[in-house]
Copies of this chain bind each other. A is one copy, B any other.
Amino acid sequence: MPVRIALDAMGGDFAPGNEVAGAVQALKLVPDDAEIILVGDETALVPLLRASGSPARISVVHAPDVVTMSDEPSSIVKQRKTSSLYVGIDLMREGKADAFVSGGNTGAVMATATMMCGRIQGVSRPTIGSFFPSRGNRPCLLMDIGANVDSKARFLVDFAIMGEIYCKLIQGVERPRVALLNVGEEETKGTEVVQEASAMLRARPINYVGFCEGRDILSGKFDVIVCDGFEGNIVLKFAESVLGFLKDKLKSYAKGSILRGLAMAAVAPMLKAALKDMDYQEYGGVPLLGVNGVVIIGHGSSSPKALANMIRRAVEVVDRDVNGHIRAAMASPTTPTARQA
């Protein structure tokens, strides 16, 4: 059966233009029979689609209302049933779409998808991760990055299990190295929660390698780094602010000197190219894992290219049955020994 992806066509900052363009681009990235459903205001979407040649595999489902970045996440399910966010997730719940992709309000997507689709059996908390660039040849998945705060140890264990499966099936890492984020590598370091989670993870049939520190996120030594959403969110937002900070520092240094200005102009494209793999748009969004459904979330300012990559990513998550693997892992006994028995 062909994979059908519902795209929140009104969610992003440049909606629906970027969303329609992204859907058209995505057709070249996904299998020949995959279908894309644009969810949003049809009076805006239909003309845009027509201008793109009305591709046969892109359809429109009307949803007149738009959830904005300032809307309260928990209010959508009850009060915003004609929004593109609600209608898109509802298509997935009803089996009319296999996945939902949005560049909209992350908290609202997460809350609505969790409430409407429910959790995969055995999952304590759904989670969102984010990819960090690394010194290695692939990015590092940090998770959770803000969906959950005050996480209990078993939540962290579930994040680790789900992150490992995602990394294996989607990033193609054969044996992902999974670590817990902490203030030191020694066994005695850290909070009670990470201590407990570490002990629990050692009993799991995954490649859990122990604690790591903040400096290890970019190191390339780990494929999945697990943490509570509190520190995950703080370090993600800090990281996102660093490049802008550095650019401004360099700019203000170059100002007032023609020579420095010229050197800056020469090096600017170089900086950009060298930092290309710090560009989240390349990663195809971030997954919401643990819900009964496939949800890929992107930045509000996602470009058409980023949205196309998110759609491709959603198809992969469906095709490779990430949720089936999560379901199986959650149902399996906790220790390798027990599993063999």
Asked if B192 and A218 make an inter-chain contact with CB atoms under 8 angstroms apart, the answer reads: no
Which residues of chain B are near A254, meaning CB under 8 Å? 270, 274
Asked if B135 and A183 make an inter-chain contact with CB atoms under 8 angstroms apart, the answer reads: no
Q: How far is the CB of A91 from chain B (nearest CB, A)?
A: 30
- A183's contact among B190, B218, B233, B274, by CB below 8 Å, is which? B233
Asked if A242 and B241 make an inter-chain contact with CB atoms under 8 angstroms apart, the answer reads: no
Asked if A217 and B229 make an inter-chain contact with CB atoms under 8 angstroms apart, the answer reads: no
On whether A249 and B270 interact (CB within 8 A), knowing A181-B234, A217-B238, A238-B217, the answer reads no
A219 an interface residue at 8 Å Cβ cutoff?
A: yes
Name A219-242 residues within 8 Å CB distance of B. 219, 227, 229-231, 233-242
CA distance A239 to B273 in the complex (A): 22
- A249's contact among B217, B227, B260, B275, by CB below 8 Å, is which? B275
Q: How far is the CB of A298 from chain B (nearest CB, A)?
A: 18
Binding stretch for chain B, among A77-85, A171-179, A261-269, A322-330: A261-269
A271, closest chain B residue (CB) = B250
Which residues of chain B are near A88, meaning CB under 8 Å? none
Interface size class of A (residues with CB under 8 A): 35 or more
Which residues of chain B are near A50, meaning CB under 8 Å? none
- A217's contact among B191, B241, B278, by CB below 8 Å, is which? B241
- A270's contact among B236, B237, B263, B275, by CB below 8 Å, is which? B263
Asked if B218 and A233 make an inter-chain contact with CB atoms under 8 angstroms apart, the answer reads: no
A199 an interface residue at 8 Å Cβ cutoff?
A: no
CA distance A272 to B288 in the complex (A): 40
On whether A150 and B192 interact (CB within 8 A), knowing A214-B235, A214-B236, A234-B214, the answer reads yes
Which residues of chain B are near A218, meaning CB under 8 Å? 238, 241-242, 245
Q: How far is the CB of A227 from chain B (nearest CB, A)?
A: 8
Q: Mark A29-54, 1 if CB is under 8 A from B, else 0.
A: 00000000000000000000000000
Asked if B241 and A238 make an inter-chain contact with CB atoms under 8 angstroms apart, the answer reads: no
Which residues of chain B are near A267, meaning CB under 8 Å? 263-264, 266-267
A146 an interface residue at 8 Å Cβ cutoff?
A: yes
Asked if B214 and A183 make an inter-chain contact with CB atoms under 8 angstroms apart, the answer reads: no
A266, closest chain B residue (CB) = B263
Asked if A248 and B135 make an inter-chain contact with CB atoms under 8 angstroms apart, the answer reads: yes
- Known pairs A150-B192, A183-B233, A263-B266; list 9 more (Cβ under 8 Å): A133-B249, A183-B234, A217-B238, A218-B245, A227-B234, A231-B234, A235-B235, A253-B273, A264-B267
12 A-B Cβ contacts within 8 A? A135-B245, A146-B183, A149-B190, A191-B230, A214-B234, A215-B241, A216-B241, A235-B235, A246-B275, A249-B275, A250-B270, A250-B271
